[in-house]
A and B are shown apart, each in its own frame.
Chain A
Amino acid sequence: MLRTENITSFYGEIQALHGLNLEARKGEITCVLGPNGAGKTTTMFTIAGILKSRTGSIFLEDEELTRQSAQTIVRKGIALVPENRLIFPQMSVEENLNAGAFTRSSNDPSIENDIFKMYQRFPPLEGRRNQLAGTLSGGEQQMLAIARALMAKPKILLMDEPSLGLAPLVVKEIFYIIRQLNEEGVTILLVEQNARMALKVANMVYLLEKGKVSFSGSPEEIHQDEVIKRAYLGTEIK
Chain B
Amino acid sequence: MFTDFLQNCIDGLMIGSGYALLALGFTMVFGVMKRINLSYGPSIMLGAYFGTWLYLNLEQNAWLVLLGTIFGTVVVGIYVERLCFRAIKSDSTIASMVSSFVIWMQLEEIAMHLLPERTYPFPAFFAAKTFEFGPFYVRSEHLTMFILMLIIVLILHFFLYQTRQGLAIRALSDNPMASLYIGINRSKTLFLSFFIVSLLGGIAGFLILSTDSQITPFFGLWATFKGLIAMMLGGMGSLPGAIIGGLLLGIVEANVFWYGDPILRDISAYLLLFVMLVLRPGGIFGQSIVLRQRLAQERV
A residues neighboring B (CB under 8 Å): 48, 50, 69-71, 74-75, 79-80, 82, 84-91, 95, 98-100, 102-103, 106, 132-138, 141, 148-149, 152
Contact = CB atoms under 8 A, between A and B. Distances in A.
Interface stretch (B36-44, B167-175, B268-276): B167-175
A91 B160 CA distance: 12
B292 A152 contact: no
Nearest to A134: B296
| Chain B binding surface SS class | helix
Nearest to A165: B300
15 contacts: A48-B181, A50-B180, A74-B181, A86-B175, A87-B300, A88-B170, A88-B179, A89-B175, A90-B293, A91-B174, A102-B167, A132-B292, A134-B292, A141-B299, A141-B300
B58 to A, nearest CB: 39
A74 B181 CA distance: 8
B106 interface: no
B183 interface: yes
A74 B178 contact: no
A71 B295 CA distance: 30
Interface residues of B, number: 24
B184 interface: yes
B125 to A, nearest CB: 35
B185 interface: yes
A135 B183 contact: no
B175 A135 contact: no
B150 interface: no
B164 interface: yes
B181 to A, nearest CB: 5
Given A132-B296, A135-B296, A71 B183 contact: yes
B177 A134 contact: no
A86 B171 CA distance: 11
Interface string B182-215: 1111000000000000000000000000000000
A114 to B, nearest CB: 14
Contacts of A74: 181-183
A91 B171 contact: yes
B174 A89 contact: yes
B175 A152 contact: no
A25 B185 CA distance: 29
Given A134-B300, A136-B299, A141-B299, A88 B178 contact: yes
Given A98-B167, A106-B164, A89 B185 contact: no
Contact of A100 (B170, B182, B296): B182
Contact of B183 (A85, A87, A88, A102): A102
B184 A71 contact: yes
B293 A89 contact: yes
